[in-house]
Amino acid sequence: MTADTSQLPAMPDLPSPDRCVDARDLYCPEPVMLLHNAVRDIADGQVIELLATDPSTQRDVPKFCHFLGHALLWQDREGELFRYLIAKKAPEA
């Protein structure tokens, strides 16, 4: 799902996302399922921005990244909106 992020505050000095996953108004496990599908569709090293309103993503997204080896570059909460920036891991040599 693609989101219009033009109205959101800018992220700190981080890489621009290659894809944005809009999981707002979805509840566990849907945000992580959408993230997992997006990670499969991008190239190694590319970056995904995840937008979510489910507070459980504060627990689930870091665990997802740790378990699968992806880099959680940034996370933030703006009111009821949770934003994450995730870089897909490169394959092991």
> Which of the residues are catalytic?
28
Left (φ > 0), alpha (ψ -120 to 50) or beta: where does 21 sit? beta
Q: Are 36 and 23 in contact (CB under 8 A)?
A: no
Does residue 74 contact residue 12 with C-beta atoms inside 8 Å? yes
What spatial distance separates the first Cα and last Cα of the chain, rounded to whole Å? 32
